[in-house]
Amino acid sequence: MANILFESLAEQINAELQRNHILAPYGVRARVYGNGTVQIQGIVNVLAEKHQAEELVWRFPGVKNVENNITVCTDGGVDDEDIAFELGRNYWPIR
């Protein structure tokens, strides 16, 4: 009986991921385990999309834990200057 409930939950979450106009093109998928853990995986372009997918999953009753295994991968090149800028912007105080 529990497996049917978790299969139904997986179907509901995956349907919602497919309806989401931002996440649907990436093919993000969810798998639900018997203990209420939901594992989400796929590849998105920005960190905000990864967080959005996790927030979407937490809205479903019965979710006890979320393993967010989504990878963030940009299409463009990233060089040392870009990384230094991002680190400075996010981790060091502005002077």
- Of the CA atoms within 13 Å of residue 30, those in its CB half-sphere come to 32
CATH number, position 55: 3.30.1340.30
Domain interval for residue 83: 2-91
* Helices marked H in 1-95: 2-19, 47-58, 80-91
The predicted model scores a pTM of 0.73
Of the candidates 26, 27, 1, 31, which has an alpha carbon nearest to the alpha carbon of residue 13? 31
| Tally of domains in the chain | 1
Which 3 state secondary structure label does DSSP give 11?
helix
Total residues belonging to the chain:
95
Number of C-beta neighbours around residue 57 at 10 A: 23
Return per-residue pLDDT of the chain as tens, 95 residues.
467 677 899 999 999 999 999 999 999 999 999 889 999 999 998 899 999 999 999 999 999 999 999 999 876 666 677 666 655 655 545 44
